[in-house]
Chains A and B, each alone.
Chain A
Amino acid sequence: MIKKLFAFALVSLLAFTLTACSTNTAKGPVNISLTLWDEVQAPIIQKNIDRFNTLNEGKIKATIELVPWSNYWQKLDASLGSAASADVMWMNVYLPKYVDGKVVKALDEFIKKDKLDLTQYVTARVDAFKYKNQQYSLPKGLDAVFVAYNKEIFDKYSVEYPKEGWSWDDMRAAATKLRDAIAAKSGKEYPIAMELDGQPSYINFIQQNGSAYLSADGKTTNIGDAKAIDAIQQVVNLMSDKLMAPYTVLSETKGTDMFVSGQAGIVFIGSWKASVLNESSLGKAGKIGLVQMPKMASSNTSVLGGLGYAMSANTKNPNEAWALIKFLTSEESETFEAKNGIDFPANIKAQAEYVKSFPNISGQVIANATLTGFPYPSNGNFEWTTFVDDAITLALSGKAPVAETLKAGAVKAQEVLDKLNK
């Protein structure tokens, strides 16, 4: 028995030393991994990575770890904080959560060492990844929100196309004409459709009307004040005046789906759907027009989201990870992405190619929307956002009066915010 135990211990000791040795090779390329979720973008990014690997032949080898959107954040959360996580990852507005969790690495030292010129990127996107005065990500792209309209429907019912610089009243006027013409011909289309998610809808309207979903300093939510209440009331009015599809329809069928199947004349839509519009049969027939959002009381500014590349705090290869991040956000790499229409680049010189990459829709409208946009309002905490979003949802549904509902939601959200900012 003792003999057997001794033999077993000896063998395991040998096995352990062997494995320890094998991870210690100084020769051979360093392996780093990039994790991301979009299977549409992945093949294009893979080509950029192939170029990176060729340039760094023998020294660095990068691979992509594709995780579907539905699991991406769960998997990331589970793996960060251990050495098994990916070295580089896609990051968005959730950044503060990861900085506070101390699982992402600040990039300032690398930026300084390489004297990287940050003005090559859209400033708003660089700032979006600055938290507590440190830079945690280099920006990859940005998304903006705009309006798509169905030229077929406008032609069929003899209404003039929306013009750049139009106002909310202009939109109401056009939608009214559509509504009446559609009813006269017993059509089933709706003048306007909308997604119920905040980013392509109410986050914009609240800002455009002069209020804010979250204040610029990240400390207060203003959805309870008069201008925000008015913005939501205007949306409710669109539905009660039958200028927009009723809440029932919108909550069961996505606005984008309705639009590309010819069920809506106008839709508010985000640039992440640009390729959907471009590839749709409506788009291929040249029947989709784009225009910026109509102006409300203050402006027609669009919310700007966007992704960046961040580095794991526990990576064993920070220098190699930094090399990858710098490479993927360079003008050359982002130009390649733009040429393939997968993302509107945050790298300013690369943006021209994006506009050219959409034969069926006007990429220029998207580019213009990014010039007047405001950064996505988030402080990385989602406890307060649930109170705000649920209140706005309740108000939009018409089940409760707008003013009271928004004020009640604002109070509950502010309680959480105050605790966060104590």
Chain B
Amino acid sequence: MKPKKKHSKFKSKDTLAAYLFISPMLIGIFIFFVFAFLQNIYFSFNKVGAFDTPTFVGIDNYRRLLTDPIFLIALKNTIFYTVLGVPLVVFFSILIAWFLNQKIKGQSIYRTAIFLPAITMPAAIGLLWRWLLNYQYGIVNYIIVKLGGTAVAWLSDTNTVKWAILLVLVWSMVSYQVIIMLAGLQGISKTYYEAAEVDGASKWQIFFKITLPLLSPTIFFVTIMSTIGILQIFDFIFLMIQRTAVAYQYSMSLVSYFYELAFTQNLRGYASAVSIVLFVIILIITVIQFVGQKKWVNYD
């Protein structure tokens, strides 16, 4: 009897202390995430200026989205970045991680060099690439011309600007995802490889029949994270393209449009509607991916 009582009292005091310790963080998350998220949904059904109290407008904002040509452009661009970006990020992070996993000379130098973008501020990356890709004065064009080609207006030609943004985006994302892929590769038990070699499997067979399937949980994770990340792209566009250049209108993303609506045009209700649509898109895609994982992801 006595020990039991002591045990339960001890447990509830412990739980109380635990809640007290995490309450500051919980309160912060509630205010800045949960409450803000719910307020965002509320705003999307209202007209909200910089200072006015919100006025209810029902689904007007959502109706406006359907016929807003700029929203459609932003959506199209965002889809472009995602549909092309995710496979490229996954492909290159597997390739580079596999390469980094081989026993070669200078392995640590390669690893450091490849990890550098992951720890560099996006602002630094954006501004540097903005100069590298400068039509008149950038190094990339300088090299192209020296090799006999013609300079490309990477960031101002409306046909190439999306590719330039995609390049920088993939470059910086791969750097981070390689770390995760490498961890996944190293998590594959050597016994599989040894058994395969004993059975006389070729290098290709080993890669496709052993490595990839065992890597699939990591690939799944990288796919989800890069999809969610790329759908929200904003910073490189903001940093690399002048707002007053026509190339902006050909490369802006949904979050770019949200930013402009909320902070330049002070149409915060409409901006909220845009962000809710983006949220729903991300949600649907993520759910599809989770449901689809049964078909190709192997959990041992």
Contacts and interface: CB of A to CB of B under 8 A. Distances in A.
A229 to B, nearest CB: 18
A100 B130 CA distance: 39
Contacts of B51: 77, 80-81, 97-98, 100-103
A213 B277 CA distance: 34
A251 B159 CA distance: 15
B156 A247 contact: yes
Contact of A382 (B136, B242, B245, B266): B266
B50 A77 contact: yes
Interface string B28-63: 000000000000000000000111100000000000
B153 A248 contact: yes
Nearest to B134: A252
B246 A251 contact: yes
Contacts of B266: 97, 381-383
Interface stretch (B81-89, B257-265, B286-294): B257-265
B137 interface: yes
Nearest to B241: A251
A393 B135 contact: no
A241 interface: no
B245 A252 contact: yes
A381 B50 CA distance: 11
Q: Which of B49, B135, B242 has the most CB of A within 10 A?
A: B242
A27 B149 CA distance: 76
A101 B49 CA distance: 9
B298 to A, nearest CB: 47
B245 A251 contact: yes
Interface string A200-213: 00000000000000
B247 interface: yes
Given A196-B242, A196-B245, A383-B265, A248 B49 contact: no
B267 interface: yes
B142 to A, nearest CB: 13
Interface in A277-321: none
Interface string B143-184: 000000000010111100000000000000000000000000
A394 interface: yes
Contacts of B134: 252-253
B136 A74 contact: no
B245 A101 contact: no
B249 interface: yes
A386 interface: yes
A208 B134 CA distance: 33
Contacts, number: 76
A103 B53 CA distance: 13
A390 B158 CA distance: 14
Q: Which of A196, A198, A248, A386 has the most CB of B within 10 A?
A: A248
A249 interface: yes
Given A80-B51, A102-B51, A382-B266, A253 B136 contact: yes
Nearest to A393: B246
Interface residues on B, range: 20 to 34
A396 interface: yes
B189 interface: no
Interface string A375-387: 0000001110010
A243 B263 CA distance: 37
B246 A396 contact: yes
A74 B263 CA distance: 7
A252 B155 contact: yes
Contact of A393 (B137, B249, B264): B249
Interface in A196-247: 196-198, 247
Q: Which of A102, A251, A253, A382 has the most CB of B within 10 A?
A: A251
A196 B156 CA distance: 13
Nearest to B157: A248
Interface in B184-210: none
Contact of A101 (B52, B156, B264, B265): B52
Contacts of A396: 246
Nearest to A390: B249
A397 interface: yes
A393 B267 contact: no
A248 B137 CA distance: 12
A394 B246 contact: yes
Interface in A82-120: 97-98, 100-103
A156 interface: no
Given A102-B51, A197-B244, A252 B264 contact: no
Interface of A: 73-74, 77, 80-81, 97-98, 100-103, 196-198, 247-249, 251-253, 381-383, 386, 389-390, 393-394, 396-397, 399
Given A247-B156, A248-B153, A248-B156, 19 more contacts: A80-B51, A81-B51, A98-B51, A100-B51, A101-B49, A101-B51, A102-B51, A103-B51, A249-B135, A251-B247, A252-B155, A253-B136, A382-B265, A389-B244, A393-B244, A393-B246, A396-B246, A397-B245, A399-B246
Q: Which 6 A-B pairs have the closest CB atoms?
A: A101-B51, A251-B245, A397-B246, A196-B244, A248-B153, A251-B156
28 contacts: A77-B50, A97-B49, A97-B51, A100-B49, A100-B51, A101-B51, A103-B51, A196-B244, A196-B245, A247-B156, A248-B135, A251-B156, A251-B244, A252-B130, A252-B134, A252-B153, A252-B156, A253-B134, A253-B137, A383-B266, A383-B267, A390-B249, A393-B244, A394-B246, A394-B249, A396-B246, A397-B158, A397-B246
